């Protein structure tokens, strides 16, 4: 059967499109998906929240960071006092986190952390957390996506990697587990 010029062009385009799709599929199959590698854990002590009230964006809270520890396979040290978490509690109950603080490695290197994220829970769970109760982390969602910055050659790799964190709220602090996206 002889194809018309139009049918030949359509058939050719279909063949090229199929080949391109197959190539993308093969490339996707051969590349590794990202994984997470545990790097370290921050346990920080916090001040009582300063409640600014509803600013039109939500309820603004500022929570000072007073210190803490850093432990893990990729970093050990302390959390320096002086950082804070500038939060907005939205009308839908989600807390927008905007934390900034400084870590000091055991060797003296300083690492700046800018750590945005969200915490979401039912009003009942938030009330228990705010009352100082230890609440199982499976009852709420607390994740952050920090950026780390340092001038230390030893830790310069942190400037070039993405991290994700899982947080746990404690009565007077937080535990933040840092994972490198590999």
Range of the domain at 11: 1-31
CATH assignment at residue 174: 2.40.160.20
Which residue is it, tokens 């829970």? 121
Cα dihedral 131, 97, 118, 149 in deg (nearest 10)? -130
Between the CA of residue 175 and those of 27, 53, 157, what are the distances in Å? Answer: 39, 26, 23
Residues 91 and 54 in one domain: yes
Q: What is the pLDDT of residue 17?
A: 52
Residues 20 and 107 in one domain: no
> Residues 62-82: what's their mean pLDDT?
98
Q: How many domains is the chain partitioned into structurally?
A: 2
| Contact (Cβ atoms closer than 8 angstroms) between residue 169 and residue 119 | yes
Nearest-angstrom CA–CA distance, 7 and 29: 33
- pLDDT per position as a tens digit, 100-112: 999 999 999 999 9
| Contact (Cβ atoms closer than 8 angstroms) between residue 133 and residue 165 | no
Strand partners, 46: 65
H-helix segments, the chain = 5-30, 123-130
Q: Residue 93: which pLDDT band, with cuts at 50, 70 and 90?
A: confident
> Residues 122-128: what's their mean pLDDT?
93
Q: In the 8-state DSSP scheme, what is residue 80?
A: P
pLDDT surpassing 90 at residue 9: no
């Amino acid at each position: 059967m002889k194809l018309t010029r139009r049918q030949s062009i359509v058939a050719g385009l279909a063949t090229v499109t199929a080949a391109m799709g197959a190539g993308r599929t093969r490339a996707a199959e051969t590349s590794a998906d990202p994984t997470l590698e545990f790097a370290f854990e921050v346990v920080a002590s916090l001040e009582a929240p300063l409640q600014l009230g509803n600013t039109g964006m939500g309820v603004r809270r500022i929570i000072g960071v007073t210190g803490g520890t850093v432990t893990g396979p990729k970093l050990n040290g302390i959390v320096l006092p002086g950082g804070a978490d500038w939060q907005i509690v939205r009308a839908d109950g989600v807390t927008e986190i905007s934390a900034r603080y400084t870590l000091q490695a055991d060797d003296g290197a300083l690492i700046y952390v800018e750590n945005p994220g969200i915490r979401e829970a039912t009003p009942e769970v938030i009330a228990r957390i705010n009352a100082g109760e230890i609440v199982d982390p499976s009852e709420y969602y607390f994740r952050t996506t920090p950026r780390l910055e340092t001038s230390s050659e030893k830790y310069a790799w942190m400037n070039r990697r993405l991290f994700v964190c899982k947080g746990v709220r404690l009565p007077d602090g937080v535990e933040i587990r840092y994972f490198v996206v590999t």
